[in-house]
Structure 1
Amino acid sequence: MNRSYDADLPLWARLFRLPEQPGLPIQVRLRAVITQAILDGRLPAGAALPSSRDLAQALSLSRNTVTAAYEQLVEEGFLEARPRRGVFVAANACAPRADVEAALEEDPFRSGRAGSGQRPPEWRRRVLRSQAERPTLAKPEDWHRYPYQFIYGTYDPELFPTDDFRECCLRSLGRVQLPNWTPDFEQVDVQELVAQIRQRLLPQRGVYALADEILVTIGSQHACYLLAEALFDRHTRVGFEEPGHPHARNSFSVRGPQMVNLPVDDEGLVVDGMPEVDYVFVTPSHQSPTTRTLSLERRQWLLRKAELHDFVVIEDDYEAENLYAGTPMPALKSLDTSGRVIYIGSLSKSLSPALRLGYIVAPRELIAELRVLRHAQVRHPSAFLQHAYALFLSLGHHGSHARRVNQIMQERLMRVSAALTQHLPDFRFTLPQGGASVWVEGPDWLDSGELADVARAHGVLIEAGRAFYDQPPYPCPSFRLRLSSISGAQIEDGIRALALAVGALAAARGVSRTGAPFMH
């Protein structure tokens, strides 16, 4: 390639600026930016690229890195190499944008533009089951910029077993393992994972199931959605904890059942006085969000009532592995003798919620129906991820990771307890026996939704209590502090900043932190 590109080197440096993604090799990032420039039309078909030497100089990269990127893009059809002339964008790398625009102009039905003489669909009227207004747990898009993240759903590098999980992924990518997960699985699951769930996880909860009584899901929320699709309609009465798990409530609500709010207290779900229902959803291990554990007496009474009144219990064994004190309470499913309990478990929650892997244990007749329904929705969860996680379980990594998480979470609970006692002494909380969060009740004047807004200005993210209620009170003084995303070293500073937010909100309301009006 001639040297006429020397003057244009700053242009190439701007066009191919590599993104800050330390987890990706430089060559992969370079291929990505070149490909994106081609697909965006910034590099049209036939456009000449600088030589590998010139581009390496412009981007301060190794020439071998640029050469390898070019060779890969030639192989993939984005670039073409012309002997003694250089590297050019391939003729068929992407559709010409002018042709696409012309086609849209000629076909107003495809363009959907208001100026085409055709009215676009009224989507607000057409959407029949909108979830947009339902309360849910949501973090701001720029959540990573906040120093104190007392929220669920973020990555904690201190906890993630990077080396162990990478080993399992690499083993699954070995040539000898490819036949075990690359074929289309249709309706079945990876046998190795089902075996590990049966033999390693469920017995720890006192649950014993056959292979055809287990279905792998894309997380516990997907399990709730599958059950709602199969079992609920607008006539179905579903008992649900109040406050309760918002994601499960929203998944159930898609099918429009009659949601019946059931109170909770210090022993979990209140079983006495329960109205007539068809299903009851319960989080007995660590009630979401209050973290209370359903007592053995109530577990037995709930199952007895299910038989007497012919309803089914849906048990989400939420954070059952995270136990720091006391004796593990048996899962409801382990006490079930009549097949009235549907059990939901999560495989990925303690690692990273982004992995999305869970399972349902239920009578085989129901599992067979759910299997067909899952196939219609998503075919099946990632077979690669199932296989990798089966290895993660079989090599003992899951157990050692759970023990490590428990030790770290217990330390964080002690830290948050000390910080709350020191900086927010008028706030009430009870340390749970397990789990990864603390349910906090502020003074009666406080609304946690308003506090969450003010706390952001102090760098603190919390989970306002109203998201957990079907019918939230106002003011709603309760909120949840999640400990799976914030390091132990940041907890005290985070609670101190939260106390400053409480003070600012109290001043704006004209009250002291305890709720007494200011004296003038």
Structure 2
Amino acid sequence: MWRQLLKLDRSPGTALQIQLRSSLANAILDGRLPDGLRLPSSRDLARILDISRNTVLLVYERLVAEGHLESRTREGHFVRATIKRTGVAPLAAEPVSRLPAWERHFRQAGTFRWLDRPSGWQKYRYAFVYGQFDPKLFPLSDWRECNRLALEVGAVRNWGQDDVDGGSGMLIDQLIRTVLPRRGISARPEEVMLTMGTQHGLYMLSKLLCTPGRMVGVEDPGYMDARNIFSHDGARIVALPVDEEGLSMTPTLGACQFVYCTPSHQCPTGVTMSTQRRLELLDHASRYDQLIIEDDYDPETQYVGQPLPALKAIDKCDRVIYLSSLSKLLSPGLRVGFIVAPAVVIERLRELRRLMIRQVPGNNERTAALFIRHGHYDRLLHNTRESLRQRAGLLTHALRETLPDLTFGEPQGGASLWVTLPGQIDQRALFGACSANGLLFDPGEPFFHEPSHPPCVRLGFSVIDAERIVPGVEEFARHVNALRRRPGRATRAR
């Protein structure tokens, strides 16, 4: 019974003491261990669970201190009878009712395409996925130090209050002093606002700028969630093609009220917008009274040459709204992003943010600010660049050796490679075959505005171990070659 009740995860990095304490406390609170029950001795429970007796003793002592258990001399440990368990009083008679017709209450939604990964993707042998960080590169001890400092009494008084700004001044100050100047951007505190990641910023900008029928230009292929967000608010999406210099200056650009683009490393192709194209885009926006949303989602991972300044840095007319994030480098789960825009825009965005979440978590903000101020962010950035440069080299070399007719550009930065497949490859069949054999990549289809497009995939290399890249590419090539179009055999293009 005890082994079933107190299941422990023995994988590396999991603390058995914390697991055992949580399992026992939860079992007491939800009534699975009734009042007055005598627990096994520390020696017996250690033997049953195959763990150290000291671990059990420490857990018992902690639960006694917390009031979950009581210790009786020469008798053992017992579930304390004074624990108050939560519950609700039953109704004397439940009213007769029918379930709501939910669909009738929903607002009309569009058809969205997502890029969802299967659960447990971390266990794939070859995870060529994008947007994830490598825990082995993350300086956990440094982050813990900053987190400890953020939890000191004086710091908690600063960020722990109910405050619409959430004590965000320290992180905004570090962004203005350290992070933004690397992108060539000079900003004042009233021109910067923190968000729960870039996607949160896009959602608020869409609420602020989009009206039904408004024409919004989005790169094609491009970030599907930006397209989905704008469409959800009734905007009409204008697909803007991308070439080797970035977003193309097509005639349809003139019909847009605002344009969303990713100049640093275009999503998903990785192309960097040229200086000439940036100047043309800014000039076009000025002549046609357009706004530009610049998503600088991967700005500091340039490992070949020098990065170009952000569009925002060379914008002389305040037409660019700049979004970026610390999440890609630190950890996606931290959700730390920011917007740089004219003060009048930031003021309106603060009102919208207050309606959504009131304030962003101040403890993460302060920890991130200390992490930057103490120099840990710079060191992590340097190590990440070197790791990505090495992995990019391994990936491109292996692809040229195994699949020489693939089309892709040499990455100058970023953490992914956009690949056009040879022939008419059935992407759905390729994804299924690779996934069944422990290989995962991002299909290209969700990035395109229309379903008709060349067969493309995105191979991310931020999280996969360097030694797995070459065998992973060989596995990928095996499935690509098996699905190539052969005479007399048709394949379905997705």
How far the C-alpha of 1:90 sits from its partner, in A, is 4.2
d(CA) in 1 for partners of 2:265, 2:104:
40
How far the C-alpha of 1:310 sits from its partner, in A, is 1.1
Q: Which residue of 2 aligns with 1:163?
A: 141
Q: In structure 2, give the amino acid aligned to 1:208.
A: S
Is the Cα–Cα contact under 8 Å of residues 454 and 505 in structure 1 kept in the other structure?
A: no
Deviation sequence 1:424-477 (CA, Å, 0-9, x none):
112111112111111000124114333212211222101110011121326x41
Which region of structure 1 is more displaced relative to structure 2, 221-230 or 503-512? 503-512
1:361–1:69 Cα change, 3 Å: same
How far the C-alpha of 1:46 sits from its partner, in A, is 4.4
1:478–1:12 Cα change, 3 Å: same
Q: Which residue of 1 aligns with 2:94?
A: 107
Tell whether 2:336 aligns with 1:357.
yes
Deviation sequence 1:188-220 (CA, Å, 0-9, x none):
442111111001011111101100111111111
d(CA) in 2 for partners of 1:45, 1:337:
71
- The 3-state SS of whatever aligns with 1:506 is coil
Tell whether 2:361 aligns with 1:382.
yes
d(CA) in 1 for partners of 2:458, 2:23:
41
How far the C-alpha of 1:398 sits from its partner, in A, is 1.1
Q: Which residue of 1 aligns with 2:17?
A: 27
Which of 141, 161, 180 is the equivalent residue of 2:119? 141
Which of 220, 228, 243 is the equivalent residue of 2:206? 228
Deviation sequence 1:76-120 (CA, Å, 0-9, x none):
454455677642154544235xx66x54x9435xxxxxxxx5321
Q: In structure 2, give the amino acid aligned to 1:58.
A: I
1:250–1:161 Cα change, 3 Å: farther
Deviation sequence 1:249-301 (CA, Å, 0-9, x none):
22333322111111111111012411311110000011000111111111111
Tell whether 2:234 aligns with 1:256.
yes
Tell whether 2:393 aligns with 1:402.
no
Tell whether 2:248 aligns with 1:270.
yes
Q: In structure 1, give the amino acid aligned to 2:182.
A: Q
Is the Cα–Cα contact under 8 Å of residues 164 and 354 in structure 2 kept in the other structure?
A: yes
Deviation sequence 1:319-368 (CA, Å, 0-9, x none):
11111222321111011112111000111211221121110001111111
- Give the TM-score, by structure 2 length: 0.92
Tell whether 2:36 aligns with 1:58.
no
Tell whether 2:306 aligns with 1:327.
yes
Q: Which residue of 1 aligns with 2:407?
A: 428
Which of 383, 390, 397 is the equivalent residue of 1:411? 390
- The 3-state SS of whatever aligns with 2:300 is coil
1:212–1:34 Cα change, 3 Å: same
Q: In structure 1, give the amino acid aligned to 2:86.
A: A
Q: How does 1:445-456 map to 2 (within 5 A)?
A: 445-456=424-435
Q: In structure 2, give the amino acid aligned to 1:451.
A: L
1:322–1:510 Cα change, 3 Å: farther
Tell whether 2:216 aligns with 1:238.
yes
- Give the TM-score, by structure 1 length: 0.87
Which region of structure 1 is more displaced relative to structure 2, 292-301 or 444-453? 444-453
d(CA) in 1 for partners of 2:269, 2:425:
18
1:511–1:392 Cα change, 3 Å: farther
Q: Which residue of 2 aligns with 1:462?
A: 441
Is the Cα–Cα contact under 8 Å of residues 269 and 294 in structure 1 kept in the other structure?
A: yes
How far the C-alpha of 1:311 sits from its partner, in A, is 1.3
Q: How does 1:168-247 map to 2 (within 5 A)?
A: 168-247=146-225
d(CA) in 2 for partners of 1:469, 1:346:
24
d(CA) in 1 for partners of 2:368, 2:294:
23
Q: Which residue of 1 aligns with 2:462?
A: 484
1:507–1:268 Cα change, 3 Å: closer
Q: In structure 1, give the amino acid aligned to 2:449.
A: D
Is the Cα–Cα contact under 8 Å of residues 130 and 415 in structure 2 kept in the other structure?
A: no
Deviation sequence 1:171-192 (CA, Å, 0-9, x none):
2233453333322332344211
d(CA) in 2 for partners of 1:412, 1:264:
25
d(CA) in 2 for partners of 1:155, 1:89:
44
Is the Cα–Cα contact under 8 Å of residues 240 and 282 in structure 1 kept in the other structure?
A: yes
How far the C-alpha of 1:158 sits from its partner, in A, is 3.1
Is the Cα–Cα contact under 8 Å of residues 161 and 351 in structure 1 kept in the other structure?
A: no
d(CA) in 1 for partners of 2:192, 2:467:
40
How far the C-alpha of 1:308 sits from its partner, in A, is 1.2
d(CA) in 2 for partners of 1:187, 1:62:
47
Which of 59, 73, 95 is the equivalent residue of 2:86? 95
d(CA) in 1 for partners of 2:488, 2:34:
63
d(CA) in 1 for partners of 2:462, 2:320:
29
1:249–1:35 Cα change, 3 Å: farther
d(CA) in 1 for partners of 2:219, 2:165:
32
1:174–1:267 Cα change, 3 Å: same
Is the Cα–Cα contact under 8 Å of residues 245 and 288 in structure 1 kept in the other structure?
A: yes
Is the Cα–Cα contact under 8 Å of residues 159 and 351 in structure 1 kept in the other structure?
A: no
How far the C-alpha of 1:53 sits from its partner, in A, is 4.3
1:215–1:34 Cα change, 3 Å: same
Is the Cα–Cα contact under 8 Å of residues 285 and 329 in structure 1 kept in the other structure?
A: yes
Q: In structure 2, give the amino acid aligned to 1:247.
A: D
1:89–1:275 Cα change, 3 Å: farther
The runs of 5 or more residues in structure 1 that have no matched partner are 1-10, 109-116, 516-520
Q: In structure 1, give the amino acid aligned to 2:33.
A: L
Which region of structure 1 is more displaced relative to structure 2, 47-56 or 26-35? 47-56
Q: Which residue of 1 aligns with 2:297?
A: 318
d(CA) in 2 for partners of 1:107, 1:91:
31
Q: Which residue of 2 aligns with 1:493?
A: 471
Is the Cα–Cα contact under 8 Å of residues 60 and 69 in structure 2 kept in the other structure?
A: yes
Deviation sequence 1:213-242 (CA, Å, 0-9, x none):
111111111111111122212132211111
Is the Cα–Cα contact under 8 Å of residues 440 and 478 in structure 1 kept in the other structure?
A: yes
Tell whether 2:283 aligns with 1:304.
yes
- The 3-state SS of whatever aligns with 2:199 is helix
Is the Cα–Cα contact under 8 Å of residues 275 and 308 in structure 2 kept in the other structure?
A: yes
Q: Which residue of 2 aligns with 1:121?
A: 100
How far the C-alpha of 1:20 sits from its partner, in A, is 3.4
Is the Cα–Cα contact under 8 Å of residues 158 and 487 in structure 1 kept in the other structure?
A: no
- The 3-state SS of whatever aligns with 1:177 is helix
Which region of structure 1 is more displaced relative to structure 2, 37-46 or 459-468? 37-46
d(CA) in 1 for partners of 2:34, 2:28:
6
- The 3-state SS of whatever aligns with 1:199 is helix
